[in-house]
Structure formats: C-alpha cells, structure tokens
C-alpha cells in the first residue's frame, strides 16, 4: 500500500500509478454494480408474472461498447505501467554507491564495492533473524543491516548463493529476484533517512520467514563512518562466489583439477 511520499526517487511514480489505477477501476466497478442493481430492481419479477421474460441478444452497439472500453483500459494500464517500469529499470551510469547483495539460506551478505582502504571494498555477513521468547519475537538488533547514503545514486547487484531468493524492501515499493548464476540489478536514490524493513520474497526453504534484514538510510558522513567501522573491524575486500553452494553455474570456470592425481 502507498506509504510516505519520497522514500526513493521511484516511489512517488509507483504510488501515482497504483492510486490512479484504483480510481479508474472503482469507477468502472461503480458503473457495473449500479447497472446490476438497477436491472435487478427495474426488471424484477412482479406479482402475477409467469414464464420467462422477453429474451434479447445481439445488441451490437452495447456489445461493441463493452468490448472496446475494457480494451482501451487494458492498453492504458499497460502503457502507463510499461513507462513507469522502463524508468525504474533505467540503469544509472557510474552510481555513487555500488553494493553487491548475496542472498543465502537464510540471510544476506553485503559487499560495498570500491569502498574502504585502497578501494578494494568492505563487506558484511548477515545471520538469519534470531527468535526470542517475548514480543516482538525477533532480535531486531541482530538483523543484517544494509546501510545506504541518502540522496546518492545506488546500484544494487543481486546474486544468490544457493536457491532463488527475492530482495524486497516493502517501503521502496519494488522487489526483484536473486537467481543463482545470474546477476540482477536495481537502481534508485534513497531520499529519506530512516530504517526500513527488508525481507526475502521468494519461498526459499525452512527458515524463509526469518530471512530478514534492515535498510538504514543515513547521511553521507554516517555512511562513511559505517564503511570505516567495517574496515576497522577487518572486513575488507569482498566475499564472492567461492561461498556459493553450486560451483558449476554457467559462465563459471570448471572446478580446479588437483595436481598429482
């Protein structure tokens, strides 16, 4: 459902599409419901009437009308959706921040590319949500956290280490699958500082429901501090495909052959 305006540079357009579609569809619904009720009342069986009413068919003007109008509506919905999606999917050249997100049963790894000492990247390895005995039954402090700088262009590269997952931040009004052996991309500008919940949106095994994370959109300074804290903790470089469960994906080198055998 539409939330606060201006969460990312895409959310207002998506909200507009959603709200406008509902208004149009409710108007169609009101017309249809109105006509149904009207015909039920006006043409109801009256006292003393027997047999079937006059049977009518082949009213060309009406049939033409109820074929053409839905067709125009469908074309309209398609065109506006395609336009919105094309603008969302438009790659951002040279994004300010490039983050590789690996989905894994049942958590997330984040590689902040070209950051940290020497630009070799810093990384964060998440663990699956920890359950607790009391409400809210999840230890939010232990959730993997993706940190993004507000107002900067972001590219998220989506990868999977095992099965299909889906990267979903509900407040961003967009989700995309993470498929083993294939890289997917998301491009956006986070425009409002805050903490947003994220989750896996593709049933991926026993603890799919605990495959949660948080997104923290922070100021540029706080973002740099966070990157520095990862570097200080020794999480430099990136963690890549060597942790993937399947090492025989298309486009990957064949497994190394051990010598002396």
Task: Give residues 217-236 in contact with Cu ion (rule: CB under 5 A).
Answer: none
Q: Does 204 bind Cu ion (CB under 5 A)?
A: yes
Could you tell me whether strands 145-149 and 174-178 are parallel, antiparallel, or unpaired per DSSP bridges?
unpaired
| CB of residue 201 to Cu ion, shortest distance in Å | 8
Q: Could you give the CA distance from residue 175 to residue 215 in angstroms, rounded to a whole number?
A: 14
Give 111's DSSP letter: E
For Cu ion, give the closer residue by CB, 20 or 249: 249
E strand or H helix at 90, and its extent? Answer: none
| CB of residue 161 to Cu ion, shortest distance in Å | 10
The beta strands (E) that lie in the chain are given as: 97-104, 107-112, 122-125, 145-149, 154-160, 165-169, 174-178, 184-188, 194-200, 212-218
For Cu ion, give the closer residue by CB, 148 or 158: 158
For Cu ion, give the closer residue by CB, 101 or 200: 200
CA-to-CA dists, residue 161 to 43, 120, 221, angstroms: 64, 21, 32
Q: Does 7 bind Cu ion (CB under 5 A)?
A: no
Among 10, 102, 104, 165, binds Cu ion (CB under 5 A): 165
| CB of residue 107 to Cu ion, shortest distance in Å | 9
Q: Does 158 bind Cu ion (CB under 5 A)?
A: no
| CB of residue 29 to Cu ion, shortest distance in Å | 36
Q: Does 161 bind Cu ion (CB under 5 A)?
A: no
| CB of residue 124 to Cu ion, shortest distance in Å | 17
The neighbouring-strand residues paired with 157 are 100, 185
CA-to-CA dists, residue 49 to 38, 52, 55, 168, 249, angstroms: 19, 9, 15, 60, 73
Q: Does 200 bind Cu ion (CB under 5 A)?
A: yes
- Name the residues that contact Cu ion, by CB under 5 A: 165, 200, 204, 211
């Amino acid at each position: 459902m539409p939330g606060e305006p201006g969460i990312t540079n895409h959310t207002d357009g998506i909200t507009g599409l959603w709200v406008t579609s509902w208004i149009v569809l409710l108007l169609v619904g009101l017309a249809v419901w109105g006509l149904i009720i009207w015909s039920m009342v006006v043409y109801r069986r009256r006292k003393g009437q027997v047999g079937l009413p006059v049977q009518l068919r082949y009213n060309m003007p009406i049939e033409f009308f109820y074929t053409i109008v839905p067709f125009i509506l469908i074309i309209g919905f398609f065109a506006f959706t395609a336009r919105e999606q094309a603008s969302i999917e438009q790659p951002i050249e040279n994004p300010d921040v490039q983050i590789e997100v690996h989905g894994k049963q049942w958590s997330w790894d984040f590689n902040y590319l070209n950051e940290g000492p020497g630009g070799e990247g810093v990384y964060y390895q998440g663990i699956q949500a920890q359950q607790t005995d009391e409400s809210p039954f999840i230890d939010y402090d232990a959730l993997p956290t993706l940190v993004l700088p507000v107002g900067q262009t972001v590219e998220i590269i989506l990868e999977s280490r095992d099965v299909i997952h889906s990267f979903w931040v509900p407040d961003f009004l967009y989700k995309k699958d993470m498929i083993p052996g294939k890289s997917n991309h998301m491009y956006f500008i986070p425009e409002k500082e805050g903490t947003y919940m994220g989750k896996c949106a593709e049933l991926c095994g026993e603890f799919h429901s605990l495959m949660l994370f948080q997104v923290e959109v922070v100021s540029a300074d706080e973002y740099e501090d966070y990157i520095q804290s990862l570097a200080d903790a020794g999480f430099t470089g990136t963690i890549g495909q060597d942790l993937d469960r399947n090492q025989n994906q298309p486009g990957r080198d064949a497994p190394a052959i051990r010598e002396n055998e």
